[in-house]
């Protein structure tokens, strides 16, 4: 379940974003380019790609190859872009998400890398490195995926979209239906679920790779809340960026609503900068990370203070 403060922020920002629709096309195009490059870079980096964000952008923008990088890494970029385009088209069509769509996404992810297995359920047993969870045997995979599709169809009627996206992602990774590319496929499916409900994509950052695997392992043990809130914080961050880009610059924010460094926000309160940093990382206070530094607002600090009285 989403932390109540995080849930309230997500719902408030989503309502504000919906009220601005149709969103300004220039802003949306800039955001799409930014999110696509960062999504592809981070998703591939989590799986071991050595390409930098700038190199990923160059491949997307020019189609050129980067010296010293493998052909596989180049295909991982262009394939992921094709998969994102497919996911966006599915979201616009509004169709129910089925195991067939998952296989089509995977086929795009592994195209020209492993055409024999692209879009095909695995035929051998697999183990997830560093995890105690053991995926089902290969012969069980088709039935497990059918059950996954049935669960998703029923769950979307009564589970919050962000929680649904996180749980669907974990359930898919736990099945591990493919010999390779499961993580990338699961993150694409997660964002397909979010897109269908009008959310921006949740980008899992490479720098959070260790925490990402930790919350997945906690979900393996039946503890879903850490993963749900991990994904929720990524959605919250994306909503903030979308609102900043789409709200007219002429709408001047009050001093209490302006983003300020944590040290400045802590001044005059009983909190230290370190404590506000902890709250920011846990999603218990509204904050945004720019580079290596966290920023929050005086309004966010006040709301947190009021919530614990």
- Both 152 and 290 in one domain: the answer is no
- Both 170 and 283 in one domain: the answer is no
Confidence (pLDDT) at 253: 67
- Both 41 and 102 in one domain: the answer is yes
Burial of 289 (0-12, 13-18, 19+ CB in 10 A): middle
Q: How far apart are CA 118 and CA 112, in angstroms?
A: 9
Parent domain of 273: 255-307
Nearest CA to 220 out of 121, 133, 114 is that of: 133
* CATH code for position 103: 1.10.3290.10
pLDDT tens column, 58-94: 999 999 899 999 999 999 999 999 999 999 999 999 8
- Both 279 and 240 in one domain: the answer is no
End-to-end alpha-carbon separation of the chain, Å? 22
Confidence (pLDDT) at 254: 76
Task: Name the CA dihedral angle for 244, 247, 252, 258, rounded to a multiple of 10 degrees.
Answer: -20
User: What percentage of residues in the chain have a pLDDT greater than 70?
Assistant: 98
Q: Catalytic residue at 176?
A: yes
Rounded to an integer, what is the distance from CA 211 to the centroid of its chain?
14
- Both 143 and 263 in one domain: the answer is no
| Residue 33 CA: distances (Å) to CA of 76, 85, 176, 211 | 17, 12, 30, 26
Confidence (pLDDT) at 290: 80
CA angle 296, 41, 212 (to 5 degrees): 60
Confidence (pLDDT) at 248: 65
Confidence (pLDDT) at 37: 97
Write down the catalytic residue from 80, 106, 176, 237: 176
For residue 69, the number of C-alpha atoms closer than 13 Å in the C-beta half-sphere is 19
- Both 219 and 302 in one domain: the answer is no
Cβ atoms of residues 148 and 99 within 8 Å:
yes
* Domains identified in the chain, total number: 2
Q: Domain boundary at 246, 270, 293, which?
A: 246
Cβ atoms of residues 166 and 227 within 8 Å:
yes
Q: Would you say residue 213 has pLDDT above 50?
A: yes
pTM: 0.90
- Both 145 and 182 in one domain: the answer is yes
Q: Domain boundary at 216, 246, 276, which?
A: 246
Mean pLDDT of the chain: 93
Confidence (pLDDT) at 247: 79
Q: How far apart are CA 89 and CA 15, in angstroms?
A: 23
Cβ-based neighbours of 42, under 8 Å, separated by 6 or more:
203, 204, 205, 206
Confidence (pLDDT) at 251: 56
Cβ atoms of residues 168 and 192 within 8 Å:
no
Confidence (pLDDT) at 84: 98
Nearest CA to 45 out of 56, 35, 31 is that of: 56
- Both 36 and 114 in one domain: the answer is yes
Cβ-based neighbours of 128, under 8 Å, separated by 6 or more:
135, 173, 176
pLDDT level of residue 250 (50, 70, 90 thresholds): very low
Q: How far apart are CA 220 and CA 147, in angstroms?
A: 17
pLDDT level of residue 127 (50, 70, 90 thresholds): confident
Among 197-211, 222-236, 287-301, the least confident range: 287-301
pLDDT tens column, 171-187: 999 999 999 999 999 99
pLDDT tens column, 143-174: 999 999 999 999 999 999 999 999 999 999 99
């Amino acid at each position: 379940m989403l932390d109540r403060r995080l849930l309230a922020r997500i719902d408030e920002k989503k309502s504000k974003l919906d009220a601005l629709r149709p969103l300004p096309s220039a802003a949306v195009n800039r955001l799409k380019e930014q999110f696509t490059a960062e999504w592809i870079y981070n998703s591939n980096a989590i799986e071991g790609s050595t390409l930098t964000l700038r190199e990923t952008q160059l491949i997307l923008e020019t189609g050129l190859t980067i010296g010293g990088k493998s052909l596989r890494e180049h295909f991982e970029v262009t394939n992921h872009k094709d998969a994102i385009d497919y996911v966006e088209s599915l979201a616009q069509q509004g169709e129910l998400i089925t195991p067939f769509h998952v296989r089509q996404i995977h086929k795009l992810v592994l195209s020209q890398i492993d055409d024999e297995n692209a879009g095909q359920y695995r035929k051998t047993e697999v183990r997830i490195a560093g995890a105690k969870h053991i995926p089902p045997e290969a012969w069980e995979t088709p039935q497990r995926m059918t059950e996954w599709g049935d669960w998703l169809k029923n769950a979307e009627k009564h589970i919050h979209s962000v929680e649904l996206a996180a749980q669907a992602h974990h359930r898919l990774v736990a099945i591990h239906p493919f010999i390779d590319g499961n993580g990338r496929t699961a993150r694409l499916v997660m964002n397909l679920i979010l897109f269908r409900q009008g959310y921006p994509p949740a980008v899992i950052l490479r720098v959070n790779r260790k925490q990402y695997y930790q919350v997945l392992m906690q979900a393996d043990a039946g503890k879903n809340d850490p993963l749900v809130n991990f994904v929720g914080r990524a959605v919250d961050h994306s909503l903030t960026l979308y609102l900043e880009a789409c709200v007219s610059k002429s709408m001047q924010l009050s001093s209490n609503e302006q983003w300020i460094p944590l040290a400045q926000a802590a001044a005059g309160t009983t909190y230290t900068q370190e404590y506000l940093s902890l709250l920011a990382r846990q999603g218990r206070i509204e904050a945004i990370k720019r580079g290596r530094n966290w920023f929050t607002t005086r309004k966010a600090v006040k709301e947190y203070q009021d919530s614990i009285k």
